[in-house]
Amino acid sequence: MKWFKNLKVGHRLIFGFSIMILFMGIIGFTGYNSVENINNKLANIFSVQLPSINYLIQADRDLQQLLVAERSMIFANAKSDVFKTLIKDYEENLKQADERWEKYKSLSSSPEEKAIVPKYEKA
C-alpha cells in the first residue's frame, strides 16, 4: 500500500475511478447474463410447460365428461336416442383425451415426465 500513498492525487483519482468503472462493467455483465437467463426460462415456461399443463387439464376434463356419460348410460334405455347421444359423447371425449395426451407427450421434456408417461399408459 506504500506505492498507493506515493502516487499523486490525480493518479489516485484515476485509479479509483478505473476500479469503479471495472466494477460497474462486472455488475452490468452479470445483470445482462441474469436477464438473459430469466428470459430463456420464461420462454420455456410459456412455450412448453404451460401448454403441457393445459393439455393435461383438458384431457382430465375430457375423462371426467367421459365418466359422466358412462354413468348416465347405466340409467338410460339402450335403444333410446339419449343412449346414442351418450355413446357419441363418450367416444368424442375419449378421442379428445387421447389427442390431448399425445400433445402432452410431445411437449414433455424432462426425464421425470418421460419416466411417468409409460407408467400412466400402462395403468
pLDDT score at 109: 75
Domain of 53 in residue numbering reads as 2-122
Domain count for the chain: 1
In the predicted structure, residue 113 carries a pLDDT above the cut 90: no
Task: Classify the phi-psi angles of 110: left when phi > 0, otherwise alpha if psi is within -120 to 50, otherwise beta.
Answer: beta
| Mean pLDDT calculated for residue range 15-43 | 96
Contact 16, 24 (CB under 8 A): no
User: Residue 56: exposed, middle, or buried by beta-carbon count in 10 A (0-12, 13-18, 19+)?
Assistant: middle
Q: Which residue has the cell 354413468?
A: 71
- Predicted confidence band of residue 19 (pLDDT cuts 50, 70, 90): very high
pLDDT score at 48: 84
Q: Give per-residue pLDDT as tens, 73-101.
A: 888 888 889 899 999 999 999 999 999 99
| 13 CA to centre of own chain | 51
- Predicted confidence band of residue 7 (pLDDT cuts 50, 70, 90): confident
pLDDT score at 111: 84
In the predicted structure, residue 5 carries a pLDDT above the cut 90: no
